[in-house]
Amino acid sequence: MPQISERGLQMPASPIRKLAPLSDAAKASGVKVYHLNIGQPDLPSPQVALDAIRSIDRTTLEYSPSDGFRFFRENLVSYYSSFDIHLLPEEIIVTAGGSEAVLYAFMACLNPGDEIIVPEPAYANYMAFAVSTGAVIKTIPTSIDTGFKLPEIEKFEALIHSKTKGILICNPNNPTGYVYTADEMEQIRLLVKKHNLYLFSDEVYREFIYSDAPYISACHLKEIEENVVLIDSVSKRYSECGIRIGCLITKNKKLHDTVMKFCQARLSPPLVGQIAANASLQENGAYMQRNFDEYKSRRDFLIDRLNKIPGVYSPQPEGAFYTLASLPVEDTDAFCAWCLSDFRYENQTIFMAPASGFYVTPGLGKNEVRIAYVLNKEDLNNALIVLEKALEAYNSKWPEVENRE
């Protein structure tokens, strides 16, 4: 039998989806499964987007330009200007979701063996894209005990050598909800400038910052404009994960033209998705304000309830719609699988993402889970009741596991 590639063998399983077969089996047996594992917003997509899809009167669903329709990119210019990000349409490349933007950024900027520095925990697919391109991720660990704030900048500098080509951040952060401070962004700016690195900045959650912390885009940083690669997506802000529309933004003309070669090879981003995303840009502030208020309310409810469960701790996330929580178990991979395969409370169970998959350093995150608050508060409350009951049952079944106070 032909052999599987080394790349394929090295590709990590998704911590977000790897337990899906257990969830499917539970549902097939009639069990209610509360999905806390994935950032799939439950709030409605903009009505104007749905209307735009229904109103398509094209007789042929053709390819779009490889960098996306110009009218869409022109409207994106107006959208970004409202965040003090000033662009030209030629500096925006429409991609099949933010994931394709990350992949093409790595392919265009990194050679096999090149290294990028990433604070961990980090969005799990970054690791998968690094494997896909032969890049190497070097991590800067952050801790739940400090709310995942960045360590001193000297920790970054210690990792930089001839193979280091960039720094990757997600701001606001997935999976922690952390929002980088002005001082942290300035320290990153100085490092990028000093060592002539790329700064890959994933900013898909910019609309969801619940504290008074300002939104500081990598595109706001001076003197490194051509080093910045901004990653974006409509998936989260408009509840449009399924249309697969994102973008890669760069003021570096050589990099833009290089990325375009990959885009031309895959022909075009999704036609229907661009139509829906473009219509969504017409939404007034009321839609985004409703979503913001709802997620903030859910965050406040979730964190308060989590921290009342014995042995559970979660810091208060400042943005996005996730939190990382520590549980009083030794191995959340085993616990999350057990919840789906064995545990039932009133014919209900929960699906969480084990946090170990968001870390590169072995052993980190073993007692943590990522929870996405993309359920209404009634379902969130039910899910947390199930979590508390599951922890009681699990730790009574294996009493040698010590609760973390």
For residue 156, what are the contacts with CB-CB under 8 A and spacing of at least 6? 117, 140, 167, 187, 188, 191
The tens place of each residue's pLDDT in the chain, 405 residues long, gives 899 998 899 988 887 888 999 999 999 999 999 999 999 999 999 999 999 999 999 999 999 999 999 999 999 999 999 999 999 999 999 999 999 999 999 999 999 999 999 999 999 999 999 999 999 999 999 999 999 999 998 999 999 999 999 999 999 999 999 999 999 999 999 999 999 999 999 999 999 999 998 999 999 999 999 999 999 999 999 999 999 999 999 999 999 999 999 999 999 999 999 999 999 999 878 999 999 999 999 999 999 999 999 999 999 999 999 999 999 999 999 999 999 999 999 999 999 999 999 999 999 999 999 999 999 999 999 999 999 999 999 998 766 544 433
Which run of H or E residues covers position 34?
A: strand 32-35
Q: What does the alpha-carbon distance between residue 273 and residue 279 come to, in Å, rounded to a whole number?
A: 10
Contacts of residue 111, Cβ cutoff 8 Å, sequence gap at least 6: 134, 165
Q: Is the peptide bond between 172 and the residue preceding it cis, with omega within 30 degrees of 0?
A: yes
**Tokens 């739940």 appear where?**
144
pLDDT at 15: 78
Helices vs. strands in the chain: H and E counts, helices first: 13, 12
Domains and CATH numbers, the chain: 6-44+286-395 (3.90.1150.10), 47-280 (3.40.640.10)
Burial per residue of 221-249, b for 16 or more beta-carbon CB atoms within 10 angstroms, e otherwise: beebeebbbbbbbbbbbbbbbebbbbbbb
Give the separation between CA 94 and CA 315, rounded to whole angstroms.
35
Rounded CA-CA distance 155/159 in Å is 7
In three-state secondary structure terms, 269 is: coil
Residue pair 198/109 in contact by the 8 Å Cβ criterion: yes
Detail the DSSP E strand segments found in 108-219: 115-120, 136-141, 164-170, 198-202
Q: Give the number of residues written for the chain.
A: 405
- What token pair was written down for 158? 């210690």
Our CA angle for 346, 324, 368, nearest 5°, is 75
Q: What is the pLDDT of residue 17?
A: 83
| Stated pTM of the model | 0.95
